Amino acid sequence: MVNLETLVRDRLDDARAAAHGRSAHLVVHDGPLRQTVIALLADTMLDEHNAPPAASLQVLRGRVRLTGPGGGQELTAGQIEAIPHARHGLRALEDAVVLLTAVTEVREPAPGVAAREAVHT
């Protein structure tokens, strides 16, 4: 079992000790599912990158700006938001820790499976 409060504290401590002001820890790795706790010190950012097939960002501590099309969105502790299906980045507006949940691939059903499932619904 993972204690998120301990991870938040440890990631912030590691980010404060790191030259780049960031720290990350992969919490869950189950097939295509990834959950990562990421700490960013104020004014630190993750540069723009491509979006995975599906993802959400939950702010555990602090404030961040999820950047992307339309200028992005500010999120504060306790909020969760789906990550846009476009290039995006993340900037810490103050020391912050987030939980990134991502699905790294979407598997196509085997031929005939979709047709059988449609019959059962």
| pLDDT tens digits, one per residue of 35-91 | 999 999 999 999 888 878 899 999 999 999 998 877 789 999 999 999 888 888 999
The β-bridge relationship of strands 45-49 and 54-61 is unpaired
Q: Which residue has the higher pLDDT, 111 or 57?
A: 57
pLDDT band at 117; cut points 50, 70, 90: low
Rounded distance, CA 24 to CA 45, Å?
A: 13
What domains lie within the chain, and their CATH numbers? 4-119 (2.60.120.10)
For residues 35 and 101, is the Cβ–Cβ distance under 8 A? yes
pTM for the full predicted model:
0.83
Query: Which H or E run contains 72?
Result: none
pLDDT of res. 112: 65
